[in-house]
Amino acid sequence: MHCMETVLVQSCRGEDPLLRDIESILMHASGDLDKDLVGQLSQLRNIPMSTEERNGMTSFSDILKLLKKERALLRLLPQVVKLVKLVCILPCSTATPERSFSQLRRIKNYMRSTVTQERLNHTMIAAVHCDKLDERIYYAKRTSTCNVCKIAITCKQRSKARLQCLQNV
């Protein structure tokens, strides 16, 4: 991701980004970006702005401000816009997958080897997305319209101690 930001900033500043960085971006985002990106990045230096503004382009947020200001660029440079979107949606760390693997380790340790793959999948979904599950159960308590929701409420009430044990391990 840092490579993507660097290429965008260098192109806006009128500098030539490293070819290996562009090739790396094209390799990692092969389904989203194509070779037109190289030409569109070179067109970024032709955007009319003062030298001070061009030298002031030091971060990704500066590029976002430029794209918001120059709306015509969104249609003229679709590959650059896709690259900006990719930078915006890529995670900046691996914390979420690490939390998921930590949760998996806790569940596997608690349930030992008696758990089937299907049960493990369901337990992992419930453990990782417990905040969303709690919202649905709260809503179901208030409306109590379906049998599945009633069963979920009952299971939640019965397994509250078990969930606390999993979270404390």
User: DSSP labels for 94-159?
Assistant: SHHHHHHHHHHHHHHHHHGGG--HHHHHHHHHHHHTHHHHHHHHHHHHHH---HHHHHHHHHHHHT
According to the model, what pLDDT value does residue 66 have? 85
According to the model, what pLDDT value does residue 148 have? 57
- For the chain, how many structural domains are there in total? 2
For residues 7 and 85, membership in a common domain is answered with yes
Residue 130, both tokens: 């417990």
According to the model, what pLDDT value does residue 116 have? 79
According to the model, what pLDDT value does residue 163 have? 57
For residues 34 and 84, membership in a common domain is answered with yes
According to the model, what pLDDT value does residue 149 have? 57
For residues 76 and 86, give the distance between their C-alpha atoms in angstroms, rounded to a whole number.
18
Q: Of the residues 60, 89, 118, which one is the last residue of a structural domain?
A: 89
- By residue range, what is the domain housing residue 17? 2-89
* Residue numbers of the chain with a pLDDT score lower than 50: 169
Q: Of the residues 66, 89, 112, which one is the last residue of a structural domain?
A: 89
Which residue reads 């939390």 in tokens? 99
Residue 117, both tokens: 């793959």
pLDDT digits (tens, 9 = 90+) for 63-88: 888 888 888 878 888 988 888 888 88
For residues 8 and 84, membership in a common domain is answered with yes
For residues 22 and 67, membership in a common domain is answered with yes
According to the model, what pLDDT value does residue 99 have? 77
pTM flag (> 0.75): no
